[in-house]
Structure 1
Amino acid sequence: MTLDPRQRKRASAAQPIVFPSRQETVAAALRLDILRGRASAGSRLDIDEIAARHGVSRTPVRDALKQLEGEGLVQVLPYRGVEVTRLSGEDLRELFSIRIALERLAVARAAANVSLAELEGLRKILRRMDRARGRDQSWTTLNTSFHDAVHAASRSPRLIEMIRVQRTNVDRYVRAGAADLGTEAQQQEHWALLESLAARDAAAAQSVIERHLTRTAETLVRLAGA
Protein backbone atom coordinates (compact mmCIF):
# COMPACT_ATOMS: atom_id res chain seq x y z
CA MET A 1 0.00 0.00 0.00
CA THR A 2 1.31 3.44 -0.97
CA LEU A 3 0.89 6.21 1.58
CA ASP A 4 -0.09 9.68 0.45
CA PRO A 5 2.09 12.62 1.62
CA ARG A 6 -0.13 13.38 4.64
CA GLN A 7 -0.08 9.75 5.74
CA ARG A 8 3.70 9.60 5.37
CA LYS A 9 4.02 12.76 7.44
CA ARG A 10 1.83 11.33 10.20
CA ALA A 11 3.74 8.02 10.14
CA SER A 12 7.04 9.89 10.37
CA ALA A 13 5.75 12.01 13.25
CA ALA A 14 4.73 8.85 15.09
CA GLN A 15 8.32 7.60 15.17
CA PRO A 16 9.94 8.30 18.56
CA ILE A 17 12.95 10.61 18.58
CA VAL A 18 15.85 8.93 20.33
CA PHE A 19 18.36 11.28 21.95
CA PRO A 20 21.85 10.14 22.99
CA SER A 21 22.35 9.57 26.70
CA ARG A 22 24.63 11.81 28.74
CA GLN A 23 27.21 9.02 28.76
CA GLU A 24 27.11 8.70 24.96
CA THR A 25 27.37 12.45 24.49
CA VAL A 26 30.39 12.75 26.78
CA ALA A 27 32.05 9.66 25.28
CA ALA A 28 31.61 11.00 21.75
CA ALA A 29 33.12 14.37 22.68
CA LEU A 30 36.11 12.82 24.48
CA ARG A 31 36.66 10.33 21.64
CA LEU A 32 36.78 13.18 19.13
CA ASP A 33 39.21 15.14 21.32
CA ILE A 34 41.54 12.12 21.42
CA LEU A 35 41.27 11.29 17.72
CA ARG A 36 41.88 14.92 16.72
CA GLY A 37 44.87 15.20 19.06
CA ARG A 38 43.28 17.80 21.34
CA ALA A 39 43.79 15.31 24.19
CA SER A 40 47.27 13.99 23.47
CA ALA A 41 48.69 10.59 24.37
CA GLY A 42 49.75 10.50 28.01
CA SER A 43 47.63 13.49 29.06
CA ARG A 44 45.50 13.25 32.21
CA LEU A 45 41.72 13.61 32.09
CA ASP A 46 40.05 15.33 35.03
CA ILE A 47 36.59 13.90 35.79
CA ASP A 48 35.39 17.05 37.56
CA GLU A 49 36.57 19.33 34.74
CA ILE A 50 34.87 17.12 32.12
CA ALA A 51 31.65 17.02 34.15
CA ALA A 52 31.62 20.82 34.50
CA ARG A 53 32.34 21.33 30.79
CA HIS A 54 29.42 19.13 29.75
CA GLY A 55 27.07 20.17 32.53
CA VAL A 56 26.64 16.65 33.91
CA SER A 57 27.39 14.79 37.12
CA ARG A 58 30.46 12.63 37.62
CA THR A 59 28.52 9.40 36.99
CA PRO A 60 28.01 9.71 33.20
CA VAL A 61 31.62 10.89 32.90
CA ARG A 62 32.88 7.79 34.70
CA ASP A 63 30.66 5.60 32.50
CA ALA A 64 31.94 7.35 29.38
CA LEU A 65 35.54 6.80 30.47
CA LYS A 66 34.84 3.11 31.07
CA GLN A 67 33.48 2.92 27.52
CA LEU A 68 36.59 4.59 26.11
CA GLU A 69 38.78 2.30 28.22
CA GLY A 70 37.07 -0.64 26.52
CA GLU A 71 37.99 0.94 23.16
CA GLY A 72 41.61 1.27 24.26
CA LEU A 73 41.63 5.06 24.14
CA VAL A 74 42.14 5.71 27.85
CA GLN A 75 43.46 3.79 30.80
CA VAL A 76 42.40 4.06 34.43
CA LEU A 77 45.48 4.08 36.64
CA PRO A 78 45.06 3.20 40.34
CA TYR A 79 45.66 6.27 42.53
CA ARG A 80 46.69 8.28 39.45
CA GLY A 81 43.44 8.94 37.63
CA VAL A 82 42.63 8.55 33.94
CA GLU A 83 45.16 8.96 31.15
CA VAL A 84 44.94 8.95 27.35
CA THR A 85 46.71 5.80 26.18
CA ARG A 86 50.08 6.04 24.49
CA LEU A 87 50.65 3.28 21.93
CA SER A 88 54.14 1.87 21.49
CA GLY A 89 55.40 0.31 18.29
CA GLU A 90 54.65 -3.10 19.74
CA ASP A 91 51.11 -1.99 20.62
CA LEU A 92 50.60 -0.83 17.03
CA ARG A 93 51.88 -4.13 15.65
CA GLU A 94 49.48 -6.09 17.86
CA LEU A 95 46.46 -3.90 17.07
CA PHE A 96 47.10 -4.08 13.34
CA SER A 97 47.61 -7.85 13.43
CA ILE A 98 44.18 -8.17 15.05
CA ARG A 99 42.65 -5.73 12.60
CA ILE A 100 44.15 -7.56 9.60
CA ALA A 101 42.57 -10.83 10.75
CA LEU A 102 39.19 -9.14 11.20
CA GLU A 103 39.32 -7.24 7.93
CA ARG A 104 40.35 -10.30 5.93
CA LEU A 105 37.12 -11.90 7.11
CA ALA A 106 35.13 -8.72 6.39
CA VAL A 107 36.32 -8.33 2.79
CA ALA A 108 35.74 -12.03 2.08
CA ARG A 109 32.16 -11.64 3.23
CA ALA A 110 31.84 -8.38 1.31
CA ALA A 111 32.99 -10.13 -1.88
CA ALA A 112 30.13 -12.58 -1.46
CA ASN A 113 27.46 -10.06 -0.46
CA VAL A 114 28.21 -6.68 -2.04
CA SER A 115 25.44 -5.37 -4.28
CA LEU A 116 25.80 -3.59 -7.62
CA ALA A 117 24.52 -0.40 -5.98
CA GLU A 118 27.17 -0.67 -3.27
CA LEU A 119 29.90 -1.23 -5.85
CA GLU A 120 28.80 1.91 -7.68
CA GLY A 121 28.80 3.78 -4.37
CA LEU A 122 32.37 2.65 -3.72
CA ARG A 123 33.41 3.80 -7.21
CA LYS A 124 31.92 7.24 -6.58
CA ILE A 125 33.83 7.56 -3.30
CA LEU A 126 37.11 6.58 -4.97
CA ARG A 127 36.57 9.07 -7.81
CA ARG A 128 36.03 11.79 -5.22
CA MET A 129 39.19 10.65 -3.42
CA ASP A 130 41.13 10.91 -6.69
CA ARG A 131 40.01 14.53 -6.99
CA ALA A 132 40.68 15.26 -3.28
CA ARG A 133 44.36 14.35 -3.30
CA GLY A 134 46.38 17.11 -1.70
CA ARG A 135 43.50 18.07 0.60
CA ASP A 136 44.36 15.93 3.61
CA GLN A 137 41.17 16.38 5.65
CA SER A 138 38.82 15.76 2.71
CA TRP A 139 40.77 12.72 1.57
CA THR A 140 40.92 11.28 5.09
CA THR A 141 37.16 11.68 5.56
CA LEU A 142 36.47 9.96 2.24
CA ASN A 143 38.95 7.22 3.12
CA THR A 144 36.93 6.49 6.26
CA SER A 145 33.72 6.45 4.21
CA PHE A 146 35.22 3.99 1.72
CA HIS A 147 36.30 1.51 4.39
CA ASP A 148 32.98 1.90 6.22
CA ALA A 149 31.13 1.05 3.00
CA VAL A 150 33.29 -2.04 2.42
CA HIS A 151 32.61 -3.21 5.96
CA ALA A 152 28.87 -2.60 5.57
CA ALA A 153 28.85 -4.87 2.52
CA SER A 154 29.99 -7.75 4.72
CA ARG A 155 26.52 -7.84 6.33
CA SER A 156 28.24 -8.66 9.65
CA PRO A 157 27.34 -6.10 12.35
CA ARG A 158 29.30 -7.77 15.15
CA LEU A 159 32.39 -8.03 12.98
CA ILE A 160 31.98 -4.40 11.91
CA GLU A 161 31.83 -3.28 15.54
CA MET A 162 34.99 -5.23 16.39
CA ILE A 163 36.81 -3.57 13.50
CA ARG A 164 35.51 -0.15 14.57
CA VAL A 165 37.04 -0.56 18.03
CA GLN A 166 40.43 -1.55 16.63
CA ARG A 167 40.38 1.22 14.03
CA THR A 168 39.32 3.91 16.51
CA ASN A 169 42.33 3.20 18.69
CA VAL A 170 44.86 3.76 15.88
CA ASP A 171 43.09 6.50 13.89
CA ARG A 172 44.87 9.27 15.83
CA TYR A 173 48.22 7.78 14.77
CA VAL A 174 47.03 7.37 11.18
CA ARG A 175 46.01 11.04 11.08
CA ALA A 176 49.31 12.14 12.61
CA GLY A 177 51.23 10.06 10.05
CA ALA A 178 49.13 11.08 7.03
CA ALA A 179 52.00 12.85 5.28
CA ASP A 180 54.25 9.80 5.58
CA LEU A 181 51.52 7.39 4.53
CA GLY A 182 50.78 9.43 1.41
CA THR A 183 47.79 8.85 -0.82
CA GLU A 184 49.08 7.38 -4.08
CA ALA A 185 49.86 3.84 -2.89
CA GLN A 186 46.79 3.80 -0.66
CA GLN A 187 44.55 4.83 -3.52
CA GLN A 188 45.97 2.19 -5.83
CA GLU A 189 45.16 -0.41 -3.19
CA HIS A 190 41.65 0.96 -2.76
CA TRP A 191 40.95 0.57 -6.48
CA ALA A 192 42.47 -2.93 -6.41
CA LEU A 193 40.21 -3.84 -3.51
CA LEU A 194 37.16 -2.56 -5.38
CA GLU A 195 38.12 -4.58 -8.47
CA SER A 196 38.45 -7.70 -6.31
CA LEU A 197 35.03 -7.15 -4.75
CA ALA A 198 33.46 -6.53 -8.17
CA ALA A 199 34.98 -9.81 -9.39
CA ARG A 200 33.68 -11.63 -6.27
CA ASP A 201 37.29 -12.71 -5.68
CA ALA A 202 37.55 -13.12 -1.91
CA ALA A 203 41.17 -14.32 -1.95
CA ALA A 204 42.30 -11.30 -3.98
CA ALA A 205 40.39 -8.92 -1.70
CA GLN A 206 42.02 -10.49 1.36
CA SER A 207 45.47 -10.12 -0.20
CA VAL A 208 44.87 -6.44 -0.98
CA ILE A 209 43.54 -5.52 2.46
CA GLU A 210 46.38 -7.35 4.21
CA ARG A 211 48.97 -5.55 2.07
CA HIS A 212 47.18 -2.25 2.63
CA LEU A 213 47.08 -2.53 6.42
CA THR A 214 50.56 -4.05 6.75
CA ARG A 215 52.11 -1.11 4.93
CA THR A 216 50.19 1.31 7.16
CA ALA A 217 51.31 -0.53 10.30
CA GLU A 218 54.96 -0.56 9.22
CA THR A 219 54.88 3.19 8.56
CA LEU A 220 53.30 4.00 11.91
CA VAL A 221 55.67 1.71 13.82
CA ARG A 222 58.62 3.46 12.12
CA LEU A 223 57.20 6.85 13.09
CA ALA A 224 56.78 5.63 16.67
CA GLY A 225 60.52 4.92 16.71
CA ALA A 226 60.14 1.19 17.37
Structure 2
Amino acid sequence: MQTTAADPRPLAVQVYERICSDIVEGTLPAGTALVQEQIATQYGVSRTPVRDALTQVALEGLATLVPGRGYVVNHLTDQDIKNVYEVRELLESLAARQALGSHTRQQLVRLRALVDEFEALDPNNAEELFHLGLAFHAALIEPCPNDYLRKVLHDSWNHPLQRRISTTYFFGPEHQAKIVADHRKILEAVTDKDGGALEKALSCCNDPGRQLQGKAGAA
Protein backbone atom coordinates (compact mmCIF):
# COMPACT_ATOMS: atom_id res chain seq x y z
CA MET A 1 0.00 0.00 0.00
CA GLN A 2 1.40 3.39 -0.98
CA THR A 3 0.31 6.87 -2.01
CA THR A 4 -0.22 6.91 -5.77
CA ALA A 5 -1.69 9.23 -8.38
CA ALA A 6 -4.86 7.13 -8.22
CA ASP A 7 -5.07 7.52 -4.44
CA PRO A 8 -2.96 10.48 -3.25
CA ARG A 9 -4.41 10.49 0.26
CA PRO A 10 -2.07 10.06 3.25
CA LEU A 11 -1.21 6.46 4.10
CA ALA A 12 -2.77 6.84 7.55
CA VAL A 13 -6.15 7.54 5.90
CA GLN A 14 -5.84 4.55 3.59
CA VAL A 15 -4.79 2.27 6.45
CA TYR A 16 -7.67 3.58 8.59
CA GLU A 17 -10.20 2.73 5.87
CA ARG A 18 -8.67 -0.71 5.39
CA ILE A 19 -8.84 -1.52 9.12
CA CYS A 20 -12.42 -0.22 9.33
CA SER A 21 -13.46 -2.37 6.38
CA ASP A 22 -11.82 -5.44 7.89
CA ILE A 23 -13.67 -4.86 11.17
CA VAL A 24 -17.00 -4.13 9.48
CA GLU A 25 -16.71 -7.21 7.26
CA GLY A 26 -15.70 -9.44 10.17
CA THR A 27 -12.17 -10.15 8.95
CA LEU A 28 -11.08 -8.64 12.26
CA PRO A 29 -13.75 -9.93 14.70
CA ALA A 30 -14.48 -8.62 18.19
CA GLY A 31 -11.67 -9.35 20.61
CA THR A 32 -8.94 -9.30 17.96
CA ALA A 33 -5.73 -7.57 19.06
CA LEU A 34 -4.66 -4.93 16.53
CA VAL A 35 -0.88 -5.25 16.70
CA GLN A 36 0.91 -2.40 14.95
CA GLU A 37 3.80 -4.51 13.67
CA GLN A 38 1.50 -7.19 12.24
CA ILE A 39 -0.79 -4.69 10.54
CA ALA A 40 2.17 -2.77 9.12
CA THR A 41 3.57 -5.98 7.64
CA GLN A 42 0.19 -7.13 6.32
CA TYR A 43 -0.58 -3.79 4.65
CA GLY A 44 2.98 -3.15 3.51
CA VAL A 45 3.46 0.15 5.35
CA SER A 46 5.54 1.50 8.22
CA ARG A 47 4.27 1.62 11.81
CA THR A 48 3.69 5.38 11.75
CA PRO A 49 0.54 5.42 9.54
CA VAL A 50 -0.73 2.33 11.38
CA ARG A 51 -0.37 4.08 14.74
CA ASP A 52 -2.25 7.13 13.46
CA ALA A 53 -4.93 4.94 11.88
CA LEU A 54 -5.49 2.93 15.07
CA THR A 55 -5.98 6.14 17.01
CA GLN A 56 -8.76 7.13 14.62
CA VAL A 57 -10.29 3.63 14.69
CA ALA A 58 -10.53 3.92 18.48
CA LEU A 59 -12.11 7.38 18.23
CA GLU A 60 -14.78 5.91 15.96
CA GLY A 61 -15.72 3.35 18.63
CA LEU A 62 -14.47 0.29 16.76
CA ALA A 63 -11.55 -0.52 19.07
CA THR A 64 -10.25 0.25 22.55
CA LEU A 65 -6.71 0.80 23.83
CA VAL A 66 -6.26 -1.84 26.53
CA PRO A 67 -3.25 -1.42 28.86
CA GLY A 68 -0.76 -4.19 28.27
CA ARG A 69 -2.53 -5.45 25.13
CA GLY A 70 -2.71 -2.51 22.79
CA TYR A 71 -5.76 -1.87 20.64
CA VAL A 72 -8.51 -4.53 20.66
CA VAL A 73 -11.61 -4.69 18.43
CA ASN A 74 -14.64 -3.82 20.54
CA HIS A 75 -17.47 -6.13 21.45
CA LEU A 76 -20.73 -4.24 20.92
CA THR A 77 -23.34 -4.50 23.65
CA ASP A 78 -27.07 -4.18 23.11
CA GLN A 79 -26.86 -0.74 24.69
CA ASP A 80 -24.11 0.35 22.25
CA ILE A 81 -26.40 -0.54 19.37
CA LYS A 82 -29.46 1.10 20.91
CA ASN A 83 -27.46 4.32 21.44
CA VAL A 84 -26.63 4.49 17.72
CA TYR A 85 -30.24 3.94 16.69
CA GLU A 86 -31.53 6.46 19.21
CA VAL A 87 -29.51 9.23 17.58
CA ARG A 88 -30.42 8.01 14.12
CA GLU A 89 -34.14 8.04 14.93
CA LEU A 90 -34.07 11.60 16.30
CA LEU A 91 -32.25 12.99 13.27
CA GLU A 92 -34.24 11.02 10.71
CA SER A 93 -37.58 11.92 12.27
CA LEU A 94 -36.68 15.60 12.08
CA ALA A 95 -35.63 15.34 8.44
CA ALA A 96 -38.66 13.25 7.49
CA ARG A 97 -41.04 15.75 9.11
CA GLN A 98 -39.47 18.56 7.12
CA ALA A 99 -39.73 16.51 3.92
CA LEU A 100 -43.34 15.41 4.47
CA GLY A 101 -45.71 16.74 1.83
CA SER A 102 -42.93 17.62 -0.61
CA HIS A 103 -42.29 14.27 -2.28
CA THR A 104 -42.92 14.25 -6.02
CA ARG A 105 -44.74 11.42 -7.75
CA GLN A 106 -41.40 10.20 -9.11
CA GLN A 107 -39.89 10.16 -5.61
CA LEU A 108 -42.82 8.12 -4.28
CA VAL A 109 -42.43 5.65 -7.14
CA ARG A 110 -38.72 5.41 -6.32
CA LEU A 111 -39.46 4.67 -2.65
CA ARG A 112 -41.93 1.94 -3.59
CA ALA A 113 -39.44 0.38 -6.01
CA LEU A 114 -36.75 0.32 -3.31
CA VAL A 115 -39.07 -1.53 -0.94
CA ASP A 116 -39.91 -4.10 -3.61
CA GLU A 117 -36.24 -4.54 -4.47
CA PHE A 118 -35.32 -4.95 -0.80
CA GLU A 119 -37.96 -7.67 -0.44
CA ALA A 120 -36.46 -9.58 -3.39
CA LEU A 121 -32.91 -9.62 -2.00
CA ASP A 122 -31.15 -12.65 -0.57
CA PRO A 123 -31.99 -12.22 3.14
CA ASN A 124 -28.51 -13.38 4.16
CA ASN A 125 -26.68 -10.83 2.01
CA ALA A 126 -26.07 -8.35 4.83
CA GLU A 127 -24.09 -5.92 2.68
CA GLU A 128 -26.81 -5.59 0.04
CA LEU A 129 -29.54 -5.29 2.68
CA PHE A 130 -27.61 -2.47 4.31
CA HIS A 131 -26.98 -0.52 1.11
CA LEU A 132 -30.52 -0.87 -0.22
CA GLY A 133 -32.01 0.03 3.17
CA LEU A 134 -29.77 3.08 3.23
CA ALA A 135 -30.95 4.04 -0.26
CA PHE A 136 -34.56 3.96 0.95
CA HIS A 137 -33.88 6.22 3.93
CA ALA A 138 -31.85 8.63 1.80
CA ALA A 139 -34.71 8.83 -0.71
CA LEU A 140 -37.17 9.37 2.14
CA ILE A 141 -35.48 12.59 3.30
CA GLU A 142 -34.48 13.81 -0.16
CA PRO A 143 -37.06 16.66 -0.14
CA CYS A 144 -35.84 17.89 3.27
CA PRO A 145 -34.81 21.55 2.76
CA ASN A 146 -32.13 21.44 5.49
CA ASP A 147 -28.95 20.59 3.58
CA TYR A 148 -26.86 20.34 6.75
CA LEU A 149 -29.28 17.91 8.37
CA ARG A 150 -29.21 15.67 5.31
CA LYS A 151 -25.41 15.69 5.36
CA VAL A 152 -25.26 14.82 9.07
CA LEU A 153 -27.64 11.93 8.47
CA HIS A 154 -25.62 10.74 5.48
CA ASP A 155 -22.45 10.74 7.57
CA SER A 156 -24.23 8.95 10.40
CA TRP A 157 -25.59 6.21 8.14
CA ASN A 158 -22.16 5.67 6.58
CA HIS A 159 -20.26 5.75 9.87
CA PRO A 160 -18.23 2.51 10.24
CA LEU A 161 -19.93 1.77 13.55
CA GLN A 162 -23.38 1.90 11.90
CA ARG A 163 -22.12 -0.20 9.01
CA ARG A 164 -20.67 -2.77 11.39
CA ILE A 165 -23.91 -3.00 13.36
CA SER A 166 -26.04 -3.36 10.24
CA THR A 167 -23.89 -5.92 8.43
CA THR A 168 -23.01 -7.98 11.52
CA TYR A 169 -26.27 -8.20 13.45
CA PHE A 170 -29.16 -7.24 11.17
CA PHE A 171 -29.77 -9.66 8.34
CA GLY A 172 -31.68 -12.86 7.66
CA PRO A 173 -35.33 -13.58 6.76
CA GLU A 174 -36.78 -12.21 10.02
CA HIS A 175 -34.91 -8.93 9.71
CA GLN A 176 -35.79 -8.59 6.04
CA ALA A 177 -39.50 -9.16 6.68
CA LYS A 178 -39.50 -6.60 9.51
CA ILE A 179 -37.80 -3.91 7.43
CA VAL A 180 -40.09 -4.50 4.44
CA ALA A 181 -43.14 -4.11 6.70
CA ASP A 182 -41.68 -0.99 8.35
CA HIS A 183 -40.76 0.59 5.03
CA ARG A 184 -44.23 -0.03 3.61
CA LYS A 185 -45.76 1.70 6.65
CA ILE A 186 -43.36 4.63 6.19
CA LEU A 187 -44.28 4.86 2.50
CA GLU A 188 -48.01 4.75 3.31
CA ALA A 189 -47.59 7.57 5.85
CA VAL A 190 -45.63 9.67 3.37
CA THR A 191 -48.21 9.07 0.64
CA ASP A 192 -51.03 10.05 3.02
CA LYS A 193 -48.99 12.98 4.40
CA ASP A 194 -49.72 11.63 7.88
CA GLY A 195 -47.10 12.98 10.27
CA GLY A 196 -48.26 10.94 13.24
CA ALA A 197 -48.16 7.66 11.34
CA LEU A 198 -44.77 8.58 9.91
CA GLU A 199 -43.31 9.20 13.38
CA LYS A 200 -44.65 5.86 14.61
CA ALA A 201 -43.35 3.94 11.60
CA LEU A 202 -39.89 5.53 11.83
CA SER A 203 -39.72 4.76 15.55
CA CYS A 204 -40.50 1.11 14.86
CA CYS A 205 -37.99 0.95 12.01
CA ASN A 206 -35.23 2.41 14.19
CA ASP A 207 -35.93 0.12 17.15
CA PRO A 208 -33.30 -2.66 17.11
CA GLY A 209 -34.49 -4.23 20.36
CA ARG A 210 -36.72 -6.89 18.82
CA GLN A 211 -33.87 -8.31 16.74
CA LEU A 212 -30.87 -8.11 19.03
CA GLN A 213 -31.71 -11.00 21.34
CA GLY A 214 -28.26 -10.84 22.84
CA LYS A 215 -26.48 -11.11 19.48
CA ALA A 216 -24.19 -8.17 20.17
CA GLY A 217 -22.84 -9.43 23.44
CA ALA A 218 -22.28 -12.89 22.01
CA ALA A 219 -20.57 -11.76 18.83
- Same topology, TM > 0.5: yes
Pair 1:114–1:183, CA change in 2 (3 A): same
Asked if residue 220 in structure 1 is aligned to residue 212 in structure 2, the reply is yes
* Counterpart in the other structure of 1:204: 197
1:80-126 CA-to-partner distances (Å, cap 9, x unmatched) read: 21111111223233333233223322322343665544433322222
Which structure shows the higher helix fraction? 1
> Equivalent residue of 1:25, what SS?
helix
Give the superposition deviation at 1:211: 0.7
Asked if residue 142 in structure 1 is aligned to residue 132 in structure 2, the reply is yes
1:59-92 CA-to-partner distances (Å, cap 9, x unmatched) read: 2222222222222111122332111111122323
Q: How many residues are treated as equivalent by the alignment?
A: 208
> Equivalent residue of 1:62, what SS?
helix
C-alpha RMSD of the superposition: 3.0
Unmatched segments (≥5 aa) in structure 2: none
Give the superposition deviation at 1:208: 0.9
* Counterpart in the other structure of 2:117: 128
Alignment of 1:47-58 (within 5 A): 47-58=36-47
Unmatched segments (≥5 aa) in structure 1: 1-15
Pair 1:65–1:112, CA change in 2 (3 A): farther
* Counterpart in the other structure of 1:161: 155
TM-score normalised by L of structure 1: 0.75
Pair 1:109–1:44, CA change in 2 (3 A): farther
Pair 1:135–1:44, CA change in 2 (3 A): closer
Alignment of 1:74-113 (within 5 A): 74-111=63-100
- Indicate if the aligned counterparts of 2:123 and 2:172 stay in contact, CA closer than 8 A: no
Larger C-alpha radius of gyration, 1 or 2? 1
- Please give the alpha-carbon distance, in whole angstroms, between the structure 1 residues aligned to 2:173 and 2:24: 18
> Equivalent residue of 1:75, what SS?
strand
TM-score normalised by L of structure 2: 0.77
AA partner of residue 219 (structure 1): Q
- Indicate if the aligned counterparts of 2:65 and 2:71 stay in contact, CA closer than 8 A: yes
